[in-house]
Amino acid sequence: MKKVVVTLLVAVLAVFSFAAFEVTGGYAHTSVSSTDTAVASDVSFNGLSIGANYLYEDLGFVEGGALVLGGAFDYYFPVKATVEATSVEFTQMDITLNLGYRQSLNPFLPELPVDLFVEGLFNYSFGLGDAKLTSSSLAFGGGAGAAFVVQNLDVKVGADILFAKPTIVDDYKEDYKNSFKPKFKVFAGVEF
């Protein structure tokens, strides 16, 4: 699995090496609710996320705006749940494709001490692993963050809140809902 992640990261960096890109890492949280009729416990996933985004900043019509295109790998720590009086352990991993827009607030508020930004995101995730709960997920939402220079590196920190609609794997379709739930990410990264 490590080789797959490294290969994907190198491929993303190689494809977008002609323009600005960022590499991020952080914390991710998502959850899935049980159906009203099922005897199953709700599931909350907590894990780590690494990603790379291409930033196309020369849009021409809005100063400080950037198109965001990239992806991420989310690894969620194993979670035990009870489904119909049986203990089950879910091991969820996701590969996510991102598309969005990021706007710097500094052109509108030049007195800010750091570069603050807001962003809107749309993403699609593919579930991985033999004991996964969701096979895919569609999400949209937004976030905010700050960018500043540390030792000649463009560092970014931020958080995203997305509303994700998962597709439950066939084995648990009767037990869990395909309904929108919040998905949180807190990240830090470096822009090149």
Given a cut of 70, whether residue 81 has pLDDT beyond it is yes
| Separation between Cα atoms, residue 92 and residue 96, nearest integer Å | 13
Given a cut of 80, whether residue 9 has pLDDT beyond it is no
User: What is the DSSP-derived secondary structure letter of residue 172?
Assistant: G
| Separation between Cα atoms, residue 55 and residue 104, nearest integer Å | 12
Q: Domain segments of the chain: what residues?
A: 2-191
For residue range 118-159, what is the model confidence (pLDDT) as tens digits? 999 999 999 998 899 999 999 999 999 999 999 889 999 999
Give the residue from 121, 122, 116, 120 showing the smallest Cα distance to 145.
116
Give the residue from 68, 76, 73, 26 showing the smallest Cα distance to 188.
26
Where does 2-191 sit in CATH, by number? 2.40.160.20
Give the residue from 162, 125, 158, 126 showing the smallest Cα distance to 141.
162
For residue range 94-113, what is the model confidence (pLDDT) as tens digits? 999 999 999 999 999 889 88
Rounded to two decimals, the pTM is 0.84
For residue range 21-37, what is the model confidence (pLDDT) as tens digits? 899 999 999 999 988 87
Give the residue from 136, 139, 133 showing the smallest Cα distance to 120.
139
